[in-house]
Amino acid sequence: MRVLGIDPGTGRCGFGVVEKNGTTITPVNYGVIETYKDQSDLERLNIVYEGVAELIATYRPAFMGVETLYFNTNITTGIKVAQARGVILLAGYRQNVPIIPVTPLQVKQQLTGYGRADKKQVIEMVKRMMHITKKIDPDDAADALAIGLTAIYRVEHKNWTSGG
């Protein structure tokens, strides 16, 4: 089973393609779709949309795990992330890829067993579970791999409803 994990963002949108064969889970590819502050909001959203659409076309995931929004004290940032998440969901929808919404709490609980785990603990579990020895850089890519792993577990336990 191949899953595309996405950590939505407009400046950097993390992605992680995760493959599960039997009990083995491996990273196929991970990184970020990057945009720049001097680009218009529409240019940035289009880059994110096209980047995700290209990842879907290239890797043909069975599912996409996309992080849900959480409360953000910076309203402007929250709106921009919501817009990015919208074009990400649209890219999946247009290519008929089921969307598995994943909350930050679900990631922490699934990968560490503790809902208040910090980012470092989550990243260490991702590296351990996928036998990654080098640093995963940037953190957005590590987050996307964690989202992909969590999506796999949710699919295996039928603990999700498609829709984003």
Q: CB-side exposure of 74: number of CA atoms within 13 Å?
A: 4
pLDDT tens digits, 98-156: 999 999 999 999 999 999 999 999 999 999 999 999 999 999 999 999 999 999 999 99
Catalytic residue among 41, 54, 67, 139: 67
With bands split at pLDDT 50, 70 and 90, how would you rate the model's confidence at 161? low
7 is catalytic: yes
Q: Which domains does the chain have, with CATH numbers?
A: 2-156 (3.30.420.10)
pLDDT of residue 146: 98
140 is catalytic: yes
pLDDT of residue 8: 98
End-to-end CA distance of the chain: 19
Share above pLDDT 70 across residues of the chain, in percent, rounded to a whole number: 95
With bands split at pLDDT 50, 70 and 90, how would you rate the model's confidence at 73? confident
To the nearest 10 degrees (0 to 180), the angle between helices 139-156 and 104-112 is 80
Is the full-model pTM beyond 0.85? Answer: yes
Q: How far apart are CA 14 and CA 143, in angstroms?
A: 7
Catalytic residue among 54, 137, 140, 156: 140
| pLDDT exceeds cutoff 90 at 160 | no
Q: Residue 37, by phi and psi: left (phi above 0), alpha (psi -120 to 50) or beta?
A: alpha
Distances (CA, A) of 20 to 71, 127, 150, 152: 32, 15, 12, 8
